[in-house]
Structure 1
């Protein structure tokens, strides 16, 4: 009886095919005698020709009309070429998104903390936009605004690329009311007032200051100068030394609410950037930033319909 050799376990792949196709447009002046392989090698010189050949053989390159590209296909002027990239395997975020509201034009979705909003950098597959495209089959979904990866809450998305600018203008022109919530420890002074029964709620601050880029570049800081940011922050409830705050950003600077809370001496619980930038670490899904984009109110710029959407609030 012959001995069999032990079978080694299959290695875990380090890359997978992107779940969404990328595309490149063939210019109007491209040579009609140019093959697609030649065009792609010229357009992406950092990608080896054999990689393009392998993608084409695997039917991972196709035209806008879904017709597959072959190794002998010639370019088509003014046409989009779609292709799937190989991307690094991404960690799955074990927190669920959900669609809170939708109509013919838009989706308002809840984005959990730690989930990126859209593909960027090393994040390709595991983001809200990709999840929604796969869930709905609508490949043109685009967000109308930003929401930090660390922040959970409501995101407004256009179902069509052509409609995105109309919804983006709501945020750019201040024609939408955004309400956030945050939980943070009270300052010693506020705590003393609460214990002495001299703290009257709600207590409101108008915060205006100048926010600029800091180091590292994804952070921001407050400096002297003409204010370029404005938030209304209201302490609504107190329990066990913690405050529940309502935050209304009038402007939309990066990290504005986090910085404005910090500037009042009440940094938000589990904020890894302010007041002190923490060293890079693995996500702890039990220690989420206690900041929530809780409500959006606006008149739809296309249908004129009043929209008022909220998600489950934070509680003390």
Structure 2
């Protein structure tokens, strides 16, 4: 099996993913000219830049024209466009967006393991895995690409922005598929650590729910009486030591006894552990979506959500050897 994967990756090694390579940690944007009349390239790009929700204040018409002057606006075949080029409907255009200023996340990414193929890190809370919406440069992918100089560094899976813990990235484009498919096929053992109010849960308790999340809605929900599509096993629950409990009670403004939950998800639905904790035990400390959606502008770096991926285990798709990565100790952000 490993030999077949290596052969497959070798054949795909020179596959071109786009006419503009990642630059300074960021990939190029692809945009398609809509139906209608042909449009000058500068008008099309300026419309995209000027109407984006999170725009850098210095991204003016002159800055757009500078992109054209530098050959930074191209067609799918790599042909550089001029500002005056008429673009027909359906034309794909590639260019680099300019990220808006972002509030720096005051936590570092730490390396857990690295070899020639993969990088495993401990991602802190408040950093998205990949660029999205208003979080572009303050993401694990962009930070790590800039720190390492490796523009091909790519996550094999995703952690929610609020979730911390183990994140595996591939170091070369040709390896992405093998590791991403490993996670997609659910062939990776995972364990998460949660801190929440103490709730009596018998050991090895399985949680089954039907979870659904609509695009654009921040919260997932449980569908009663529907066929379960998610499963998590509670591996253990233990009350926190008194000193740690008192410190977290004061910081998070709670009075309930607090516990550490070890959760082993066997499926990967969006917000699965967050919803199941709310449904079956107690909301996770610092969760700003469950049970109540809180405004984004009130986010406080001193009270991160206490949900952390502490274990990744799998059979390596390249070598067939067993791999296991584990975190222990306290959250670096606490």
Q: Given the two structures, how large is their TM-score scaled by the length of structure 1? A: 0.74
Distance 2:212 2:276 in 1: 13
Match in the other structure for 2:291: 275
Deviation at 1:123, TM superposition (A): 1.7
Match of 1:20 among 20, 26, 29: 26
Give the Å deviation of 1:63. Answer: 7.9
Pick one of 104, 107, 115 that aligns with 1:95.
Answer: 107
CA 1:271–1:168 in structure 2 vs 1: closer, same or farther (change >3 Å)? Answer: same
Which residue matches 1:229? 230
Q: Does 1:251 align with 2:262?
A: no
Match of residue 143 from structure 2: 131
Mark the CA change 1:215 to 1:303 in structure 2 (over 3 Å): closer, same or farther: closer
Between the aligned partners of 2:30 and 2:229, the Cα distance in structure 1 is: 37
Verify the 8 A CA contact 1:214 1:221 in the aligned structure 2.
no
- Corresponding residue number in structure 2 for 1:196: none
1:262-281 deviation digits (Å, cap 9, x = unpaired): 11132211111112222333
- 2:317 corresponding residue in structure 1: 301
Query: In the superposition, relative to structure 1, how do residues 215 and 124 fare at CA in structure 2: closer, same or farther (>3 Å)?
Result: closer
Match of 1:157, SS? strand
Paired residues in the alignment total: 273
- Hey, what does 1:61 align to over in structure 2? 72
After superposition, give the CA deviation of every residue in 1:210-251 in whole Å (9 maximum; x if it has no partner).
001269612101112000000001334213522111110000
Q: Aligned partners of 1:288 and 1:47: how far apart in 2? A: 33
The answer on whether the counterparts of 1:61 and 1:68 sit within 8 Å (CA) in structure 2 is no
Q: Does the aligned pair in 1 maintain the 2:204–2:235 contact within 8 Å?
A: yes
1:161 to 1:19, Cα distance in 2 relative to 1, 3 A: closer
Please state how far the C-alpha of 1:288 moved relative to its aligned partner.
1.1
Per the alignment, residue 183 of structure 1 pairs with 195
Q: Which residue of 2 aligns with 1:238?
A: 239
CA contact (8 A) 1:212 1:221 kept: yes
Q: 1 or 2, which has the higher helix percentage?
A: 2
* Contact 1:18 1:84 survives alignment (8 Å): no
Structure 1 CA distance for aligned equivalents of residues 123 and 281 of structure 2: 28
Structure showing the higher strand proportion among its residues: 1
Show CA shifts across 1:103-133 (max 9, x none): 2221111110011111111222111000111
Secondary structure of 1:85's aligned partner: coil
Give 1:261's match in structure 2, choosing from 277, 280, 288. Answer: 277
- Gapped runs of 5+ residues in structure 2? 1-22, 33-38, 51-60, 86-91, 243-256
2:99 aligned counterpart, secondary structure: strand
> How big is the shift at 1:81?
8.3
The structure having more radius of gyration, on CA atoms, is 1
Long gaps (5+) in structure 1: 1-16, 27-36, 75-79, 191-198
Q: Are the structure 2 counterparts of residues 282 and 276 from structure 1 closer, same or farther at C-alpha, using a change threshold of 3 Å?
A: closer
Kindly indicate whether the alpha-carbon contact (under 8 Å) linking 2:125 and 2:304 is maintained by their aligned counterparts in 1: yes
2:208 aligns to what? 208
Closer, same or farther in 2 for the Cα pair 1:60/1:184, shift >3 Å?
Answer: farther
C-alpha deviation, 1:91, in angstroms: 0.8
User: 1:52, CA displacement in angstroms?
Assistant: 3.2
Alignment match, 1:116? 128
**What is the DSSP-based 3-state SS (H/G/I as helix, E as strand, rest coil) of the residue aligned with 2:274?**
helix
User: 3-state SS of the aligned residue for 1:119?
Assistant: coil
